[in-house]
Amino acid sequence: MKKRENILKKEKIVDSLKLPKDICLGAMKVTFTGNSEAWIENYRGLLEYSECMILLQGKTCQVCLEGNRMTIDYYTNEDMKISGCISCVRFI
């Protein structure tokens, strides 16, 4: 409960100072080009990867991308690119 309050406080400060959230809060940044490509930044690691599902660990939450024939075009410490037919994004 206390952790959640801390996060809310941080968010308020970042909001009021108009600072970028992905840097200050460590939030994941997901960019889509249609439903065929996605660029993801600020992740911690890859939890699961199959053709139908990619599960990524972020600082505060997990992101799950679902679709068909999904491949990772490149995977580096900074960002990754996923291509394929993406049908769903879930934040867990």
Partner 1 sequence: MIAFVKYFRGYVRIRVMGFSPERFMNLCCNKGIVLWNIERKDDAYEMNIHLKAFLTLRPIVRKTGTRVAVLQRYGFPFFLPKMLKRKVFLVGLLLAIVFWLYSSVYIWDIRVEGNYRITDDVFGDFLVNNHVVIGMKKSELDIESLEKAIRKQFPEITWASARLDGTKLRVEIKENDAPILNEEEYHEPGSNLVSEYKGKIVSMIVRSGIPKAGVGDAVEEGEILVQGEIPIYNDDTTVRGYYYVDSDADIVLEHIISFSEKLPFDYVEKEYTGRQKKKNYIRFGKKEWNMSENRPYLVYDSVIKESRPLLFEKLSIPIYFGGCRYREYRNVEHEYTPEQAEAVLNEKLYIFLESLEEKGVQILEKDVKINSDTDCWVIYGEFLVHEKIGKSIAVEKTVIEETEQE
Provide the binding-site residues for partner 1, judged by CB under 8 A.
45-51, 71-77
Cβ closest to partner 1, residue 30 vs residue 54: 54
Cβ closest to partner 1, residue 9 vs residue 44: 44
CA-CA distances (angstroms) from residue 49 to 70, 71, 90? 9, 9, 15
Residue 50 Cβ vs partner 1, minimum distance, rounded to whole Å = 6
Q: Are 21 and 7 in contact (CB under 8 A)?
A: no
Task: Compute, in degrees rounded to 10, the torsion defined by CA atoms 82, 84, 31, 64.
Answer: -70
The closest alpha carbon to 65, from 56, 77, 78, belongs to 56
Cβ closest to partner 1, residue 11 vs residue 57: 57
Residue 45 Cβ vs partner 1, minimum distance, rounded to whole Å = 4
Residue 51 Cβ vs partner 1, minimum distance, rounded to whole Å = 5
